[in-house]
Each structure stands twice: as structure tokens, then as C-alpha cells.
Amino acid sequence: MTDAVGSIDMPDAEDEAPESKKKTRKGGKRGKKGPLGRLALFYRQIVAELRKVVWPTRSQLTTYTSVVIVFVVVMIGLVTVLDMGFARVVKYVFG
């Protein structure tokens, strides 16, 4: 039985490569350092990623914060009104 990649009995050409030609990687930079070296590398990478972040300005931050607070207040009001409405319906139905 043959499919688009090969057959069950005959492996693909890539799979037939002898084991001696394949490169084996033994850890690279990370394999040679101890646990403290790996931890230091991890924190250096964190700092490097944080430098790439585009931080908002103070005015953008206050705008975003006020939008979130207004949205939360509106949603609290909506849920409160719905809850009170459902409570009245349940009280009317069940007495």
C-alpha cells in the first residue's frame, strides 16, 4: 500500500541516510553550563525580550486604564440589572 509520502515497507529516501552522516548535537551552549549558568542565561534572555517591548506612554496608559474601568462598571451595572430582573421573575413564578 502506497501513500503520497512512501510505503509502509519502503521508507522515504530521507529515512535511508546512514546513521554516520547524521550530526548529533550534544547540548550546544546549554550543555556546557551548570544550573547557575543556565539560570543566568535565562534571565539575560528575559531582559533582552523586555527591551523589545513597546511600552505605552503615560497618556496611553491612563486612557487604556480609564477605558477598562468604564467597561467594568458598565458590565457590573448590566449584570446587576439582569440579576435583579431574574430575581423578580423567580419570585413571581415561585411566590
Res. 87 pLDDT band, cuts 50 70 90: very high
| The pLDDT of residue 92 | 94
Given a cut of 80, is residue 76 above it in pLDDT? Answer: yes
Given a cut of 70, is residue 27 above it in pLDDT? Answer: no
What confidence tens digit (pLDDT) does each residue in 49-67 have? 999 999 999 999 999 999 9
What confidence tens digit (pLDDT) does each residue in 12-23 have? 655 555 555 556
| The pLDDT of residue 31 | 56
Cβ-proximal residues to 12 (8 Å cutoff; 6+ apart), any chain: 5, 6
